Amino acid sequence: MRKLNEVLPCAVFGHNYIKTKTFIDHTSRLSCQNCGTVIKTDAKGNFKETVLPSKDLQRILYKLYSVKQRFYRPKVS
């Protein structure tokens, strides 16, 4: 879990992005210096947020998916 002092400046003032990687197709990967949020840009410079920014979120979504699959399976007659 992220600490409050890492997330609070981003919530109040916005993210402080720095370019971490540039790709051949003129896209870039940016990450926030405070909270570590990663976003990507397209060739025109528009922001594209990553689908799953954290491992915690991936784990929670997987658990929800498995619970849904367990309870909502169609009954075979």
The pLDDT value recorded for residue 51 is: 57
Report helix, strand and coil shares of the chain as percent, to nearest 5: 35, 25, 40
pTM of the model: 0.52
What ranges do the domains of the chain cover? 4-71
- The alpha-helical segments, DSSP class H, found in 1-77 are 4-13, 55-71
Kindly report, residue by residue over 11-54, the tens digit of the pLDDT: 677 778 889 988 888 888 888 888 778 888 888 888 876 655 56
User: Is the model more confident about 39 or about 57?
Assistant: 39
50 neighbors 39 (Cβ within 8 angstroms) = yes
Fill in the DSSP letter of residue 18.
E
- Round to whole Å and give the CA distance between 34 and 9: 7
